[in-house]
A and B are shown apart, each in its own frame.
Chain A
Amino acid sequence: MRRSDLGEFEEVVLLAVAVLSPTAYSVVIAEELEQETGQTVSTGAVHAALQRLEQKGYLTSHLGEATPERGGRRKRLFTVTALGGRVLNEVRSVRNRLWERITPQTTLKWS
């Protein structure tokens, strides 16, 4: 399990899946990210990231029910796997450790 396996966008998408679980699919993820970041996020980009994450084993997916606004088409719902959870945890603890080592003075200077 190498760290470099997880790109920045992938990490965010993976987190969003965890947040929206169990009804996470590309449209809601894209809108969630748009809201959180304030930037336009296309479902295509999200979909591609989801595919990659699934390939790496951090996500699993299944087809959900059809809804009318989808023209009767089914959606693909994603959930985080145990492996995905571990990776998220690890990323988080690395970040936390690093955050904790920043001296308060430095933090003050930025704000």
Chain B
Amino acid sequence: MYPEDFNQSKIPAPPRWLDTLLGWFVAPHLREEVLGDIHERYYRRAQRLGQQKARRTYWREVLAYLRPSMIKRKPNQYRKPLFSDMLRNYLKIAFRNLVKNKAYSFINIAGLATGMAVAMLIGLWIWDELSYNKYHQHYNRIAQVMQHMTFNTEKDTWASIPIPVGDELRKSYGQYFERVVLASHTGEHILAAREQKLTTSGKYMEPAVTELLSLNMLKGTRAGLTDPNSIILSESLAKSLFGADNPMGKFVKMDNKLDVKVTGVYEDLPYNTNLKSVAFMAPWALFVSSEGWVKAAQEEPQWNNNSWQIFVQLAPRADFEQVSALIKDVKLNHLKPEEAKDKPELFLQPMRKWHLYSEFQNGVNTGGGIQFVWLFGITGAFILLLACINFMNLSTARSEKRAKEVGIRKAVGSVRSQLISQFFSESLLVVSIAFLLSIGLVLLMLPFFNEVADKKLSMLWTNPVFWLMGLSFVLLTGFLAGSYPALYLSAFQPVKVLKGTFRMGRLAALPRKVLVVVQFTVSVALIIGTIVVYRQIEHAKDRPVGYVRQGLITVPIITPELRDHYEVLRNDLLQSGAVAQVGASVGEPTQVYSANGDFEWEGKDPGFKDMFGTIGVTHDFGKTVGWQFVQGRDFSREYATDSTGIVLNETAVKYMGLKDPVGKTVRWPRANKSWQIVGVIKDMVMASPFEPVYPTFFLLGYDSPNTITVRLAPQLSTSESLDRISPIFKKYNPAVPFEYKFVDDEYASKFGQEERISKLASFFAILAIFISCLGLFGLASFVAEQRTKEIGVRKVLGASVANLWQLLSKDFVVLVLISLVIASPIAYYLLSNWLENYSYRTDIPWWVFAVAGSGAVLITLLTVSFQALKAALIDPVKSLRTE
């Protein structure tokens, strides 16, 4: 019907790109017939209707093929092999390469695994910090009511709130709150059941707290605290009080006076919650009915007694800012004008800020733990970066040796994309091995890390985020480290490579050098940081504390018995021979327990808003701790007038601007009292050793002390003394287990955070140096190997071993010196900022930089010299014979 004898060559071919497009869409098994069909159609049309028209209809023909039946692929009739010969070959070559260069592989994998493990640990730590308190279901709606108060133009921030605020919030602002819960501060109480007697910390709280904190009740219901004589226990406390028995309905004696019934057991709050230490909760109503002062505060009501906490859960639509602004003046409006001078401002501190944003400065939330999250996050990222740099440097350095392999593969028929995928899969393989290794390392290090960081971290095996991060890191590092050999080497011309005329450019080593400088900058900065942090801690530790910490223990007075029998107890203790001196005080010697203002003295500027630490002590407290007098004398039982005596510390004298303080009078109109100054002591460091000493008054007082301080007799061993003391305390206070704290331990714990930083900083510094040196070692051996011939020739021409050593080491030392120059100002800047946080701080002397620098150079030399000397000592005959 149609002429078959047309001449195809006269007609131009249809547009190629449409064919290509069609080739993508149409299933492979149909491609031949489909393309054949439309081409044939095209040529026929072109012959019949002209080329123009055929072209115009061509795309319609193409479009007509875009239908599912054409696109759908025919299932492959052969298995798709997971291990094809080529893949197996890649793997085999990769493994052979790893095994052949054992040292390199070890450095590569170990370095990367260490870096990954550290990053993982830090990641876990940050995860834990960020998930603080998230255990509570209403995490995003809970807040604590807090207040700013202004003393001397400086705003202080407190979590303690007067009781009536709670009712006021419920009554006048009820629509903004789902729940308002009054609570006592977490306090130590003695719980006794059957034979067991335990000192545990807990809170009195209003019944709604169980809902607010969404406690997971293992036994009983969340209504457990509605009965005023009930108690709910944490799981672990229930276990230690009742063992395996069912505690429900059993009675517990609280503080040796209250009988309460167990009405619930809740799952322990996890370690990363602020309320983790609350082991039991008792009803608020019980607190009110059993403690007169609380009852008075609630019934009066006392708007100026800040002794309690309030937790709230916001109503669904309210937000923290808005409600904070609304309740700002709630307390102020209820105060009498003379009480209102502190200008209290209430506000809400949301639960999500409790842990990481806990610090306030002059009424502004300045952060807190979040700084460490950033600090460690950045350090972790740097360590990881160091490890990656190593990995990249070594694998690029090594890859140049494989130019010949590339040449051969290409000659045999590899195309570039195959070589690229080979090198990528190789680096992915190595990174994956390192990843597995790092998981093992993390498992090993986790217990140690938990101890140092005071955490209970565990692997997030079931967390998809963890795996996602791990996987993306493996891919990213594998990609970055593999990209150089993959993209650069695969572009080689096989002829040049195989003929041996191929030379690496001079600039090929430049990125490597830059990376080494980066590594050592980080390492040197970390070394400097470690030294400075350590110096700061030592500086504060060496600070004169003004009393003798050693051999001093404190015993808390929890029940009134010890206070009532104080004198006899003291006598018995002194007679036991185990004790050198006994005193009592309000608060431990390592804290300034209470502070007051509005004192008056001769020459006081009327506008001066004063604030003093006020510590009630017995006559013997000073002798017990060993305070030292600058002027005047200690309290003495011989002078009856000493009951209105007062002892000041040096700072207080300076603060008040007194000259010749002894004998002068301090008045306190608030309580209509006055005291005569009997003595001035050298400053005792009672609060933070990093802060200036607080101006402090010591007053005689026998009715308020809550701590007994005992100086153990020096001639007996500590354990022997304690054995003798313990029965005496038990005699006067049978309901309470004898518990004591060593003052020097307490003092040392003030350095806890700083020591933690120091430990971690040195840990990181060592790791950074280790990783950097691993890399350097690898690079040095690579360079030495590359220059084998050069070294041989030089030796033949008369170079000495020292010459050669110098030749090989010089480059690296120069790099380290450059990084020292970069690191010093950065470290100086960051560390001076850090030291600004401390009033009592050390300086950063020049020798710190010198030590860090020479240390880095020394380590570099040690690392490099091994390879350099090895290369320099090789018999030139051997190295020159190799070809």
Contact = CB atoms under 8 A, between A and B. Distances in A.
A and B bound? Answer: yes
Contacts of B2: 31
Given A27-B41, A42-B60, A43-B41, A73 B36 contact: yes
Contacts of A31: 2, 41, 44
Given A48-B70, A51-B69, A74-B33, A69 B61 contact: no
A64 B596 CA distance: 107
Q: For B34, B41, B66, which residue has the most chain A Cβ atoms within 10 angstroms?
A: B41
A45 B649 CA distance: 102
A6 B14 CA distance: 35
A45 B64 contact: yes
Contact of A71 (B36, B60, B62, B67): B36
B596 to A, nearest CB: 94
Interface in B21-73: 32-41, 43-44, 57, 60-67, 69-70
A22 to B, nearest CB: 15
Interface in A35-55: 40, 42-45, 47-48, 51-52
Contacts of B488: none
Contacts of B8: 68-69
Given A27-B40, A43-B41, A67-B40, A73 B32 contact: yes
Contacts of A70: 36-37, 39-40
Contacts of B6: 69
A16 B70 CA distance: 22
Given A42-B60, A51-B69, A76 B40 contact: no
A27 B38 CA distance: 8
A76 B34 CA distance: 9
A72 to B, nearest CB: 8
Given A73-B35, A74-B36, A76-B33, A48 B69 contact: yes
Contacts of A42: 60-61, 64
A25 interface: yes
Interface residues of A, number: 25
Contact of A43 (B37, B43, B69): B37
Interface string A67-91: 1111101111000000000000000
B329 to A, nearest CB: 79
Interface in B759-794: none
A40 B57 CA distance: 10
Nearest to A55: B69
A30 interface: yes
B39 A71 contact: yes
A48 B66 CA distance: 10
Contact of A69 (B40, B63, B66): B40
A69 to B, nearest CB: 5
A30 B41 contact: yes
A44 B70 contact: yes
B35 A71 contact: yes
A69 B37 contact: no
Contacts of B66: 44
A101 B788 CA distance: 105
A69 B9 CA distance: 10
A27 B67 contact: no
- Measured as residues with beta carbon below 8 angstroms from the partner, the interface class of chain B is 20 to 34
Contacts of A27: 37, 40-41, 44
B44 A69 contact: yes
Contacts of B57: 40
B59 to A, nearest CB: 11
Contacts of B70: 44, 47-48
Contacts of A66: 36
A69 B48 CA distance: 14
A29 B378 CA distance: 71
Nearest to B64: A44
Contacts of A74: 32-33, 36
Contacts of B60: 40, 42
Interface in A16-36: 25-27, 30-31
A27 to B, nearest CB: 5
Nearest to B62: A44
B67 A43 contact: no
A75 B406 CA distance: 42
B37 A75 contact: yes
B381 to A, nearest CB: 56
B56 to A, nearest CB: 12
Contacts of A25: 37
A11 to B, nearest CB: 18
B33 A75 contact: yes
A103 B60 CA distance: 44
A48 B61 contact: no
B21 to A, nearest CB: 14
A10 B70 CA distance: 17
B324 to A, nearest CB: 69
Interface string B67-104: 10110000000000000000000000000000000000
Contacts of A63: 33
A75 to B, nearest CB: 6
Given A31-B2, A47-B70, A51-B69, A75 B36 contact: yes
B67 A48 contact: yes
Nearest to A30: B41
Nearest to A76: B33
Contacts of B69: 48, 51-52
Given A27-B41, A31-B2, A31-B44, A47 B34 contact: yes
Given A43-B61, A68-B8, A69-B8, A26 B35 contact: no
A49 to B, nearest CB: 10
A85 to B, nearest CB: 24
Contacts of A73: 32-33, 35-36, 39
Nearest to B66: A44
B39 A47 contact: no
A67 to B, nearest CB: 7
Nearest to B57: A40
B44 A44 contact: no
B8 to A, nearest CB: 6
Contacts of B35: 71, 73
Given A71-B35, A74-B32, A47 B44 contact: no
Given A73-B33, A75-B33, A76-B33, A44 B61 contact: yes
A45 to B, nearest CB: 6
Contacts of B67: 44, 48
Contacts of B62: 44
A69 B43 CA distance: 7
Given A31-B2, A31-B44, A69-B43, A44 B65 contact: yes
A43 B64 contact: yes
Most buried by A among B6, B37, B69: B37
A30 B62 CA distance: 14
B2 to A, nearest CB: 7
A36 to B, nearest CB: 12
A42, A66, A67, A69, most chain B CB atoms within 10 A: A69
**Interface-central residue, B33, B35, B36, B63, by most chain A CB under 10 Å:** B36
Interface in B842-876: none
A41 to B, nearest CB: 9
Contacts of B37: 25-27, 43, 47, 70, 75
B38 to A, nearest CB: 6
Contacts of A51: 69
Contacts of B65: 44, 47
A40 B38 CA distance: 14
13 contacts: A26-B33, A27-B40, A27-B41, A27-B44, A31-B2, A42-B60, A42-B64, A43-B41, A44-B38, A44-B65, A47-B34, A69-B40, A73-B33
List the 7 closest pairs (A to B, CB-CB), nearest first.
A44-B64, A73-B36, A42-B64, A70-B36, A44-B65, A76-B33, A69-B43
Given A26-B33, A47-B37, 9 more contacts: A43-B61, A43-B64, A44-B34, A45-B64, A48-B69, A51-B69, A68-B8, A74-B32, A74-B36
Interface of B: 2, 6, 8, 32-41, 43-44, 57, 60-67, 69-70
